[in-house]
Structure 1
Amino acid sequence: MGNTSLAVHKAIVFTIIGVLLIPILATLAYSLSTHWGATILPEGFTFEWFHKLLSTPRFLWAFGRSLLICFSALILSTLLILPAIFVVFYYFPKLDKLMNLLILLPFSVPPVVSSVGMLQIYADSDISLIGTPWILIGTYFTIALPFMYRAIANSFSAINLRDLMDAAHLLGASTPKAFFLVVLPNIKKGLMASLFLSFSFLLGEFVFANILVGTRFETLQIYLYSVRQESGHYTSALVMTYFFFIFLSTWLAGRIGAKS
């Protein structure tokens, strides 16, 4: 009975994995095919589409802009959110319930509504933000806030923060020194998980980027949208490049977390 149940569970798991892999493998095959029309399998394989993609300056610039926006937003998020969570858990633990409610606010308003609201606010402002990367960095910060707060807060909940801080104080460490040398190493896994989770989400964001900056600061998703009708093979190569990059980032996050 036990072996039969285990076999059934394995069959279900492998079936789900297979179903999830079908569109990825199909996209990969299309990105490597010379022509794939009325036949079941591609008529030939080539790396031409990947070579064309990686040698296109417009794609490289769009990819670089996306990385710049994501890294800037994540650095800003870390500098603001990490100290805020520490203050909440160490000095005002009762505020955690309120913070859990507040961090959900970015999800309560649809991105289209938020974008239109920001356009109305900043269109006539003396500070020119519309069409610049600065407004995207601030917007992406609000998007990353729920992911980062929840992951880091779980790490703080898993450690005995007050005892760690008290022990560090008894040994002569100041509160900032205790935070950097004692607390931060203990929450490293949660911090890294929140960063990579937020990064993978932000890199694929389209609505805010399209409405707030558009082609004035072309990011990866805007570029993908603009070339979607040029060639299915080229678009598939772009999608697979994006997928491989996210997969590599996730793998590196797992390796870093395992060594921590």
Structure 2
Amino acid sequence: MSRANQLYHRSVVWLLLLILLLPLLGTLLYSLATSWSATILPSGLTLKWYGALWSDARFLTAFAQSLLVCAGALLLAVLLILPLLFVVHYHFPRLDGLMNLLILLPFAVPPVVSSVGLLQLYGSGPLAMVGTPWILLGCYFSLSLPFIYRAISNNLQAIHLHDLMDAAQLLGASPLQAALQVILPNLRKGLMVSLFLSFSFLFGEFVFANLLVGTRFETLQVYLNNMRNSSGHFNSALVISYFSFVVLCTWAASRLNKDRT
């Protein structure tokens, strides 16, 4: 490729990147503006909107509750999926195709349709969980399955599970010791990547949180929706704070993936 073609392609990429970043940069500038109405640029810059946001007890509660339900769902997914994956790949490899089909079911049904069914199923009776974090925990658990299952499954295939298990047992390790001391350390980075990516996705989930729990267990996305009629500067600071946190999680996942490769 000639130098002119390289320059052209790079210019197109940077131009597209600039176009994608312009709304975000405008939101960032608005979150830092004291006022911005009749002028091209804001009349002044301030951090008071971020101070107001991070001193808001309702925001901090919503942020903590989002962290709690996302972390709980991911912990539950790891505790259930990791042993299941090991058993499937080591003892029943033919079931892998069926498992790949089953874990895609959460994405086959639209969230609104799933929410209506869950409202009817768990809205009353002995398993009435609508309005509680438990139903949200179950929904987030199902949404995280495809990410975690696919990442760990690929990792297990890459490390040659049967060869490592046979080698460890030939050296005197029990199956449990081989799984915990040989297989699990080799899955650490792949597991961390899947957790960070799943967390970034779950942290921004809105439909299930809004329809199933709403303000009774207010998550960050529900809080953002409820504050849409407040100050635009305040909302811009909220959007930038949320976006920065998600970018940080995604960056951590990409760094782990880069180290692994």
TM-score band, normalised by shorter chain: over 0.9
Q: Which residue identity does 1:127 align to in structure 2?
A: L
Distance, in Å, in 1 between the alignment partners of 2:239 and 2:122 is 33
**Which residue number corresponds to residue 17 of structure 2?**
17
Q: State the Cα distance separating 1:99 from its structure 2 match.
A: 1.2
Q: Deviations over 1:50-88 (max 9, x none)?
A: 000000000000000000000000000000111111111
SS of 2:41 mapped into structure 1: coil
Q: Deviations over 1:126-175 (max 9, x none)?
A: 13311111111111000101111111111112121110110011111122
**Which residue number corresponds to residue 43 of structure 1?**
43
Q: State the Cα distance separating 1:187 from its structure 2 match.
A: 2.0
**Which residue number corresponds to residue 149 of structure 2?**
149
**Which residue number corresponds to residue 219 of structure 2?**
219
Q: When the two structures are superposed, what TM-score results if normalisation uses the length of structure 2?
A: 0.95
Aligned residues: 260
Is there any run of 5+ residues in structure 1 with no aligned partner, and where? none
**Which residue number corresponds to residue 106 of structure 1?**
106
SS of 2:173 mapped into structure 1: coil
Contact preservation (8 Å) 2:193, 2:256: no
Contact preservation (8 Å) 2:197, 2:253: no
Q: When the two structures are superposed, what TM-score results if normalisation uses the length of structure 1?
A: 0.95
**Which residue number corresponds to residue 198 of structure 2?**
198
**Which residue number corresponds to residue 175 of structure 2?**
175
**Which residue number corresponds to residue 90 of structure 1?**
90
Q: State the Cα distance separating 1:258 from its structure 2 match.
A: 5.3
Is there any run of 5+ residues in structure 2 with no aligned partner, and where? none
**Which residue number corresponds to residue 253 of structure 1?**
253
Query: Runs (4+) of structure 1 moved beyond 6 Å?
Result: none
Q: State the Cα distance separating 1:16 from its structure 2 match.
A: 2.4
Q: Give the % identical residues.
A: 60
Q: Deviations over 1:197-249 (max 9, x none)?
A: 11001111111011111100111011100001111110110011111112222
Distance, in Å, in 1 between the alignment partners of 2:82 and 2:16 is 37
SS of 2:120 mapped into structure 1: helix
Q: State the Cα distance separating 1:255 from its structure 2 match.
A: 4.3
**Which residue number corresponds to residue 117 of structure 2?**
117
**Which residue number corresponds to residue 165 of structure 1?**
165
Q: Which residue identity does 2:121 align to in structure 1?
A: I
Q: State the Cα distance separating 1:10 from its structure 2 match.
A: 1.8
Distance, in Å, in 2 between the alignment partners of 1:28 and 1:88 is 47
Distance, in Å, in 2 between the alignment partners of 1:259 and 1:177 is 26
Distance, in Å, in 1 between the alignment partners of 2:133 and 2:63 is 14
Q: Which moved more, 1:72-81 or 1:13-22?
A: 13-22
Distance, in Å, in 1 between the alignment partners of 2:6 and 2:190 is 32
Q: Deviations over 1:91-113 (max 9, x none)?
A: 11111111111111001111111
**Which residue number corresponds to residue 128 of structure 1?**
128
Distance, in Å, in 1 between the alignment partners of 2:49 and 2:27 is 13
Q: Which residue identity does 1:226 align to in structure 2?
A: N
Q: Which residue identity does 1:12 align to in structure 2?
A: V
**Which residue number corresponds to residue 61 of structure 1?**
61
Distance, in Å, in 2 between the alignment partners of 1:141 and 1:183 is 24
Distance, in Å, in 2 between the alignment partners of 1:100 and 1:259 is 27
RMSD over aligned Cα atoms: 1.5
Inter-CA distance 2–181: structure 2 relative to 1 (3 Å threshold):
farther
